[in-house]
């Protein structure tokens, strides 16, 4: 189907939730490169929004999926499922968590964490309903998770939202101290606000959040949907801070393109009982096989160290552009999660369009931030190749 017919059919039959899409249809991917219908190549710095962490066409990944496809794709969670149990075990063995519940997405994982927090206090006989989250956060698009998202633009059509959510400025300890009380069930934070503009939490802020939760008995919930699974150079971003959450969530990169997320919990608050929560598709054999392969690759010796080294060199190269491009006002992030903030008057959409012309796919965040989330397996020379392209794109718009 040619792109014009595709666009016309999409407009007629698909709900317009994504606005005017970029007029490109990708047909295949190889390594870290995408190919459109005309065969044009694009080096991918978006990775399906931090999903395709191993790029495209990884032979081991495809082989693992083919092997599972030949055996069993799905079965009911009424029965045991070896890939599910094996993945839960490996996640716990490689984290501070004791228990896992699998979901289909990051939003479902975050909603599951919120339900788990309320269930924990209810079963203690001390019900709490309140949650605190940060302004400019993003936690999902279900009613509960959009309620926890501190951005009004995502909430307006869906009022009334979940009662009892308070929003505070990110990295503001005083505001946090005023909001989190003995009536708060959960404090939900991102270690790095992705959709909010790639803003990392400060060390002092996350340490204070942990201390405050300990003082008030509140559960610390860290949303690692975008930052987890090696994106920042650690398996989970909170490891950089030396702060352990009570609950944390992952998704995106866990399945390398297949839909899987997870709620990870300490034993003391893993309070779901039969009938409290459930899922039809979550944790099915195929998606868990994908997760097992991804986790196995990321935890190989040297893999995360490579992400850290490549990310450091990439960030330094991008930062060096600031002396030549006054429209670049900041470069921030960790590992291979980097935001290049452009001046407010920069036409960011034109910059990204120019980069596509030059053969690069990038994302945006918070209006004027170029969000760079390449596959973790991207080679350093490929990473660095976009640096002069960004300079060119900015100079020509």
Tens digit of each residue's pLDDT (9 = 90 or more) over 16-51: 999 889 999 999 999 999 999 999 999 999 999 999
Tens digit of each residue's pLDDT (9 = 90 or more) over 290-313: 999 999 999 999 999 999 999 999
Structural Rg of the chain based on CA atoms: 21
β-pairing, 192-193 with 165-168? unpaired
Buried b (16+ CB within 10 A) or exposed e, 225-251: bbbbbbbbbbbbbbbbbebbbbbbbbb
Do residues 317 and 139 make contact, with C-beta atoms less than 8 angstroms apart?
Answer: no
Tell the residue number behind the tokens 């309620």, with chain if given. 147
Tens digit of each residue's pLDDT (9 = 90 or more) over 185-237: 999 999 999 999 999 999 999 999 999 999 999 999 999 999 999 999 999 99
- The model carries a pTM of 0.96
Task: Please name each of the domains of the chain with its CATH number.
Answer: 3-58+302-396 (3.90.1150.10), 72-298 (3.40.640.10)
Tens digit of each residue's pLDDT (9 = 90 or more) over 129-173: 999 999 999 999 999 999 999 998 899 899 899 999 999 999 999
Select from 198, 189, 149, 148 the least CA-distant residue to 170: 189
């Amino acid at each position: 189907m040619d792109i014009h017919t595709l666009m016309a059919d999409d407009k007629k039959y698909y709900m317009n939730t994504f606005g005017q899409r970029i007029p490109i249809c990708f047909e295949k991917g190889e390594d870290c490169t995408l190919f459109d219908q005309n065969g044009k190549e694009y080096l991918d710095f978006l990775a399906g929004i931090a999903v395709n962490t191993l790029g495209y066409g990884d032979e081991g990944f495809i082989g693992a999926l083919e092997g599972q496809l030949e055996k069993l794709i799905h079965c009911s969670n009424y029965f045991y499922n070896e890939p599910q149990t094996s993945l839960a075990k490996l996640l716990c063995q490689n984290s501070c968590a004791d228990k896992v519940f699998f979901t289909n997405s990051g939003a479902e994982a975050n909603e599951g964490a919120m339900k788990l927090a309320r269930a924990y206090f209810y079963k203690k006989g001390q019900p709490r309903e309140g949650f605190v989250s940060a302004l400019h956060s993003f936690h999902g698009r279900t009613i509960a998770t959009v309620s926890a998202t501190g951005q009004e633009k995502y909430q307006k059509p869906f009022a009334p939202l979940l009662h009892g959510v308070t929003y505070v400025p990110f990295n503001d300890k005083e505001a946090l101290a005023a909001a989190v009380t003995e009536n708060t069930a959960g404090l939900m934070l991102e270690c790095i606000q992705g959709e909010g503009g790639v803003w990392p939490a400060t060390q002092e802020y996350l340490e204070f959040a942990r201390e405050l939760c300990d003082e008030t008995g509140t559960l610390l919930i860290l949303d690692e949907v975008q930052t987890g699974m090696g994106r920042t150079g650690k398996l989970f971003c909170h490891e950089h801070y030396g702060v352990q959450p009570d609950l944390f969530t992952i998704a995106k990169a866990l399945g390398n393109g297949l839909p899987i997320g997870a709620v990870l919990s300490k034993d003391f608050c893993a309070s779901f009982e039969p009938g409290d929560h459930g899922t039809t598709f979550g944790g099915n054999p195929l998606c868990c096989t994908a997760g097992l392969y991804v986790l196995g690759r990321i935890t190989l010796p040297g893999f995360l160290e490579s992400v850290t080294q490549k990310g450091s060199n990439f960030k330094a190269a991008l930062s060096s552009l600031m002396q030549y491009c006054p429209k670049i006002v900041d470069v921030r992030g960790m590992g291979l999660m980097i935001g290049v903030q452009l001046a407010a008057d920069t036409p960011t959409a034109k910059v990204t369009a120019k980069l596509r012309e030059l053969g690069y796919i990038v994302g945006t965040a918070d209006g004027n931030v170029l969000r760079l989330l390449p596959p973790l397996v991207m080679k350093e020379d490929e990473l660095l190749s976009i640096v002069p392209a960004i300079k060119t794109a900015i100079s020509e718009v």
